[in-house]
Structure 1
Amino acid sequence: MLPNRIMEAFELDIQRLEEVEDSKSSTVVRCELTNSETVFVKIPYSKIKFEREREAYDILKNNVRTPSLLATWEGDDTYSGALLLSKLDGISLAQQKASPNIAYEVGILQGNMHNVAPSDKTVLKGIDNEFSNWTGFVERQFYSFAEDVKEVMEASLYKKAIVHFEKLKELLPAPDGPSFVHMDFRAANILVDDKGIAGVLDFESVRFGSTEIDFTKLYRDYLSKDSALFDAFQEGYKTVRPMINLELVLSFYQFVDAFNSIGWSKRRGLEEHFDFYKENAERVKDFVL
């Protein structure tokens, strides 16, 4: 579960280990130490994801609450690297009973994150600024995953999906940013405690870009369940920064998310991720048929 070389690098005196189940991409291990402290070790899927995650903690410091980055290990020929993270108390938003008050706070959280802009003074190795050619970035991601989707999707449905993408792309408003965009801002990556929002997790996919892409997964998993949640979220967000017209972008990015998720499932192993693949295949059909 946790290689000895990583435990030795972080000098961890471990009493109990438990792998975190909801980490779709990287390996995350909860470590209970003999001194009663709890920390987390994250082993990102790739080197670029390791670099993004490491840089994000410094960028978000004093802007958004995150776990503390206690130490890093640069990796070797087998592992991309590892991050030692403090524990944030709380449970995921996905486990919390939904309420407009919490949705309002989530809006503030995401607004604060989107207010973080790229700095001219900092050279980053992992986090790219995609804002200047935002449409090109979205296209590159879509057509990269399309190569995988083509292998598992019926040909006529695949063609309709491509046409759907090109049609909706032309209707997008001007990009909003450049902002720090999480790219995986979903309920499972937001922690809540008895006081409200405790923090946000998982920065291996982050970019600087347009905010419009960043509402999709939260809407899919949480905000779409109740219009009161959606309204409260937007009100909270607007206390920090202006909110784009989500009606103009959500349909496009929900479709792109479902399509790209099919490609991701194929790329990472269809058998292992079959349920995720099947769920998103049905979503694509709903969009284009």
Structure 2
Amino acid sequence: MLNSLIDRFGLQVQSVSDVENSHSSTVYKCTLKNGENVFLKIPYTKLKWQRELEAYEVLKGRVAIPEMLDYWSGDDACPGAFLLSELKGKPLTTDVLPTVAFQVGVLQATMHTVRPPEGKLLTGIQNEFSNWSHFIEKQFYGFAEDVITVVDEHLYRKAIEKFEEMKQQLPPHDGPSFVHMDFRPANIIIDGDRVSGMIDFESVRFGSTEIDFTKLNRDFLSFNPAFYEAFQEGYKSIRPLIDLETVLPFYSFIDAFNSIGWSKRRGIEKNAVFLEENLAKLKTFVM
């Protein structure tokens, strides 16, 4: 498949390497003979391919993302593929200055200003905003079918009770906005002290912004109070920010719960560390 795509896109390749930490697609970094780097991306399903295609169309010129150089709509053996330009830099880490967190806030807020396009039919990116509570419940109880096979009955029952209790305390939903659904450091590219943009759009929706802060807080903002403060300042320089103190506990709880179900689906052995981390978090939340 890789060689077929290289030929299909007419690439003069010098070297190819796998891109790690991609959970919903296969990604290759191709260094061309002219020294330029491009990326070949093959989503796991046709729906993910369609979402990605529409995301590039919706976000182009509005948010900092790679350029979609070419795409292929696939066949019976492959759901499709993309040829993407390189965003200069590396994934975000906690070894940065608060000024970078400010830029991350600007980036996310800019994305959240994107509304469902009028007069354009989208078949991949669903608009879940009008039924957001049901969408969250569907995700939670979908993963619950896997969680119940991993945790003890008492913990599972307490988690269900916690979910039903906490969801009643949420403020009004904020949207409809373009939400990434996987806005985490691995998908935010920085070049030195400058944010280059964001990547990976297989899971995007139009929905409530509240869901997009969870993974960023888990993997970045929570490590330094200065990050948290600078991020909020950056975000509010573009659009109003919801009450994170009210929203984050609920979404952090369901992130831990859903991550246990995700680990079960993707394989307990190879995701053992991630599973144990989220089991510990879930126990803290409910016990």
Q: Which amino acid aligns with 2:224?
A: D
Question: What is the CA–CA distance in structure 1 between the aligned matches of 2:280 and 2:74, rounded to whole Å?
Answer: 38
Give the counterpart of 1:117 among 111, 115, 118.
115
2:84 aligns with 85
User: What is the aligned partner in structure 1 of residue 273 from structure 2?
Assistant: 275
Residues 1:219 and 2:186 aligned together: no
Name the CA distance, whole Å, in 2 between partners of 1:271 and 1:43: 25
- Deviation by residue 1:178-233 (Cα, 9 ceiling, x = unmatched): 00000111111111113511110111110000000100000011111111111111
Structure 1 residue aligned with 2:97, among 96, 99, 123? 99
4+ aligned runs moved over 3 Å, structure 1: none
Distance 2:67 2:29 in 1: 15
Please give the alpha-carbon distance, in whole angstroms, between the structure 2 residues aligned to 1:52 and 1:146: 25
Q: Which residue of 2 aligns with 1:15?
A: 14
Aligned-residue offset at 1:275 = 2.2
Q: Tell me which moved more, 193-202 or 58-67.
A: 193-202
Task: Return 38-47 or 193-202, whichever deviates more.
Answer: 193-202
Q: Which amino acid aligns with 2:209?
A: T
Q: CA separation in 2, counterparts of 1:260 and 1:245?
A: 23
1:25 equivalent in structure 2: 24
Letter of the aligned partner of 1:66 in structure 2? Answer: I
TM-score (norm 2): 0.96
Greater displacement, 275-284 / 130-139: 275-284
Query: 1:149-160 to 2 correspondence within 5 Å?
Result: 149-160=147-158
When the two chains are superposed, the root-mean-square deviation of aligned CA atoms in Å is 1.3
Quote the offset at 1:25 in angstroms: 2.5
The one-letter code sitting in structure 2 at the alignment partner of 1:254 is S
1:4 and 2:13 are equivalent in the alignment: no
What residue is the counterpart of 2:71 in the other structure? 72
User: How many Å separate the matches in 1 of 2:183 and 2:218?
Assistant: 11
Whether contact under 8 Å (2:100, 2:193) holds in the other structure is: no
Give the TM-score taking structure 1 as reference length: 0.96
Instruction: Give the SS at the match of 2:169.
Output: coil
SS in structure 1 of the partner of residue 197 of structure 2: strand
| Match of residue 232 from structure 2 | 234
Q: Provide Cα deviations, 1:61-89, integer angstroms capped at 9, x if missing partner.
A: 12111010111112223322111100111
Structure 2 residue runs of 5 or longer lacking an equivalent are none
Does the 8 Å CA contact 2:68/2:85 hold for their aligned counterparts? yes
Distance 1:152 1:268 in 2: 13
Name the residue aligned to 1:255.
253
Q: Distance in 1 between matches of 2:88 and 2:102?
A: 20
Report how far residue 5 of structure 1 moved: 2.4
Task: State the identity as a percent.
Answer: 56
Asked whether the equivalents of residues 66 and 199 of structure 2 are also in contact (C-alpha less than 8 Å), the reply is yes
How far apart, CA to CA, are the structure 2 residues paired with 1:48 and 1:29? Answer: 20
Contact 2:51 2:201 in 1 (8 A): yes
2:173 corresponds to which of 172, 175, 179: 175
Give the match for residue 191 of structure 1. Answer: 189
